[in-house]
Amino acid sequence: MTERNKPLALISVANKRGVADFAARLTAAGYEVLSTGGTLNAIREAGVAATPVSEYTGSPEVFGGRVKTLHPKIHGGILMRRGDVGDAAEAEANGIRPIDIVAVNLYAFRETVARPDVTLAEAIEKIDIGGPTMVRSAAKNSSTVTIVVDPEDYSAVADEVDAGGVGDATRRRLSLKAFRHTAAYDAAIASWLGTNGGDNPTLPEEVHRPLIRVQSLRYGENPHQAAALYRDDGVPELNGAVVLQGKALSYNNLVDLDGAQAAVLEFDEPAAVVVKHTNPCGVGRDSSSLLQAYRAAHAGDPVSAFGGIVALNRPVGADVAAALAETFLEVVTAPGFDDEARQILSAKTNLRLIDTSAAKLDVIRARPTLFGTLIQDDDPRISDIAEDWTVATERAPTSDEATALRFLWRVCKHVKSNAIVVGSSSRTYGVGAGQMSRVDAARLAVTKATGDLAGAALASDAFFPFRDGVDVAAEAGIRAVIQPGGSKRDSEVIAAANEHGIAMVFTGHRHFRH
């Protein structure tokens, strides 16, 4: 039987880490502990006294444990207003005692649905009902009730109990933490059921996406802007990528890394991408050698490569590490670095090395604006979508030109619009990024070229609105062009290409990147 003069604490947790010690400290401080199921067993097995909730309420657990805490003696004890004469009288009449401490965390729904073979029935059984109800009840009444959802808080709460009682500031802090806990839990359920219940998984009717702060950053894009990095709930920090060395990543590093990693994953063969201010400034590939791919990428714009970010799609060995060490770089990312590479690059103490071998890279793209949040699915790899082209000109590209066009088309997709990329089949020569007019992007790409443009190829992320861009390309010696087509003046653009003997293909798809 319960002891009416003792304060009550209710403990019912899915994560049982530290729970027996917490119960022991509360009982030593004079509390009677109420508990259920596996938590009750864990507490008692540790030699700590605890009262079953069913004994306290006089109602058995029913429906296989689905209902055990949904009872007026539980929720009344949590929600009753201390000091309210009417509530006190009702509590006395119904045998309800105040419950001052509630320690509850929830069924492992996210861990369960993370299994690839999980069934809908298994997922449904991991939707907690009584737990969130108790958490929200205690958090609502935090003026007098302490809610603990995180085992990390057990010790601090027990210390305050020992010192005379949990303080107002702690109760308010834990209340906020509790509401965030249940909000994230409900969001995870809504997200999974939406994805597995017929909704468009990318663009659902409502978006529930709890974000958890990973770290505060020194500043944002500029020193006067505050910034922090967040991760989706249930997703590992940095999406599974691991920082192996170097100082903390900055806001701008992370934005550049996003662009670099997306670009290098376009390629199946060994490839390297050098990014500066979110744009690829050099991209190279080689049929078998990562070293040659990196050398080609660096040669694309060696000036801009200084202080840049490099993404590689193969593990790094000593030869590539030595080449990387020749240039000041902010970040290098690759699916692994061998011991010799780590040793060589460790001399660059500020260089961040990031291992992406375990990274999860499926994303949706969300962008807050003054008018609301825009969401779109990611632009898939070009090799994963139908990107067959049609020859628009009198001359078709040669085999070598076609290879170059397909390479540059993949690169151009990752350059900010308006985008023009010139180069060969193995590397970029010049990149014209983010220009307000396409002819200026063409002029910029040609001006920055680090290779002989005689016989080179060009890619444009969207159609040419006028023939002037083709004229710039022809004057530089370019002999093949790939673009989406679709302009009202396509006939003029095609005529210009024919005049210059340029082979031009239309893809029918554009790849704007704003």
Q: Identify the active-site residue in 6, 16, 140, 177.
A: 140
Q: Identify the active-site residue in 277, 360, 414, 514.
A: 277
Distances (CA, A) of 365 to 199, 368, 374, 377, 433: 18, 10, 8, 6, 21
Q: Where are the beta strands (DSSP E) in 329-427?
A: 329-334, 352-355, 364-369, 372-377, 390-391, 420-423
Q: Where are the beta strands (DSSP E) in 158-300?
A: 211-217, 227-232, 242-245, 271-276, 279-285
Residues contacting residue 51 through CB under 8 Å, at least 6 positions apart: 2, 32, 33, 34, 35
Distances (CA, A) of 212 to 65, 102, 175, 232, 237: 31, 24, 17, 6, 10
- Tokens in use for 106? 């929830």
Residue 68's identity, in one-letter code, is K
181 a catalytic residue: no
Residue in the block written with tokens 């798809």: 509
The SS3 call for residue 174 is: helix
277 a catalytic residue: yes
Which conformational region is residue 223 in: left (phi greater than 0), alpha (psi within -120 to 50 degrees), or beta?
alpha
Instruction: Report which secondary-structure segment, H or E, holds 185.
Output: helix 168-195
Q: Which residues are catalytic?
A: 140, 277
